[in-house]
């Protein structure tokens, strides 16, 4: 019976592990042509085709347990349906990966920008931004975990977004950006801004003092509300420090 091959020969031919072939047998989807007197499994051409079929279905993400049903009863239409479902899943995985790619590109780009001249004021033109209010609190009361929990918005991946702290007299309005018009509109215009790396509350207070001082020296700027953006995801670049951007609209 020289024309039949052993399990290791089949595994070499088909690029799968011996273990995997035995596993397919355990799941009753691939049997040897016969078992030799030494109990060795022996395989012929039909088994090679059968294994190809199984591997193709595996490639289409069909679980091994379902392959059994497929091969027992599937019509061409069933296979067509199977393939289009598999295609949909792949498409959605690709969509997710593209989102992930864009998010990573955004982080890298922002980090590059952040790495450029720190510690001085610049001006940039910003488009309209729509913000949703999250929590409003007195400036002297710090945020705590319970505040955040009890007022949690229905937004996934909240800390991947830029958090906006809008300073409004003695209150702080914590907001996050949304696409559609919402509670607060930050109007298009020129904004004075500066990047900060912060390790304590004190750093932020110092920064505010510096900004006020700067604005005093530039009376023509007619500043609006001061906005502090927390770049949550950029903070992973520096342990124990948070990345912020301080912004103020100017005329």
Partner DNA sequence: GTTCTGACA
Partner DNA sequence: TGTCAGCA
Q: Residue 54 or residue 166: which is nearer to DNA going by CB?
A: 54
The DSSP-derived string for 181-230 is --SEEE-SEEEEEEEEEESSHHHHHHHHHHHHHHHHH-GGG----EEEEE
Nearer Cβ to DNA (9/128): 9
Other beta carbons within 10 angstroms of residue 224's beta carbon come to 16
Residue 15: DSSP 8-state: T
Q: What's the closest the beta carbon of residue 89 comes to DNA, in angstroms?
A: 17
Minimum gap (Å) between residue 47 Cβ and DNA: 12
Q: Which residues bind DNA (CB under 7 A)?
A: 6-9, 17-20, 22-23, 39-41
Nearer to DNA (CB atom), residue 40 or residue 79: 40
Q: How far is the CB of 49 from DNA (least distance, A)?
A: 19
The least distance separating DNA from the CB of residue 92, rounded to whole angstroms, comes to: 21
- Smallest separation, CB 27 to DNA (Å): 10
Q: Check: CB of residue 244 under 8 Å from CB of residue 200.
A: no
Is residue 178 within 8 A of residue 132, CB to CB? The reply is: yes
> The tokens of 71 are what?
């091969």
Distance from C-alpha of 39 to C-alpha of 66, rounded to nearest angstrom: 28
Specify the residue, 24 or 176, whose C-beta has the smaller distance to DNA: 24
Instruction: Report the residue number, 67 or 234, with the smaller CB distance to DNA.
Output: 67
């Amino acid at each position: 019976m020289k024309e039949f091959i052993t399990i290791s020969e089949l595994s070499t031919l088909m690029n799968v592990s011996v273990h995997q072939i035995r596993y397919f047998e355990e799941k009753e989807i691939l049997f040897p042509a016969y078992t030799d007197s030494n109990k060795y499994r022996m395989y012929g051409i039909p088994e090679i085709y059968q294994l190809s079929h199984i591997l193709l279905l595996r490639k289409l993400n069909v679980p091994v347990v379902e392959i059994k049903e497929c091969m027992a009863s599937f019509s061409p239409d069933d296979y067509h349906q199977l393939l289009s479902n598999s295609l949909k899943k792949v498409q959605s995985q690709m969509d997710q990966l593209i989102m992930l790619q864009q998010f990573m590109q955004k982080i890298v780009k922002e980090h590059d920008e952040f790495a450029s001249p720190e510690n001085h004021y610049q001006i940039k033109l910003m488009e309209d931004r729509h913000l949703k209010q999250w929590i409003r609190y007195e400036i002297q009361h710090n945020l705590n975990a319970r505040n955040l929990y009890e007022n949690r918005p229905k937004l996934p991946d909240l800390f991947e977004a830029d958090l906006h702290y809008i300073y409004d007299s003695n209150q702080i309005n914590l907001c996050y950006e949304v696409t559609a018009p919402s509670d607060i509109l930050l109007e298009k215009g020129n904004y004075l801004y500066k990047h900060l790396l912060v390790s304590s509350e004190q750093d932020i207070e110092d920064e505010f003092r510096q900004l006020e001082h700067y604005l005093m020296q530039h009376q023509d700027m007619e500043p609006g509300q001061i906005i502090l953006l927390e770049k949550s995801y950029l903070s992973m670049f520096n342990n124990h420090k948070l990345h912020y951007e301080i912004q103020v609209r100017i005329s």
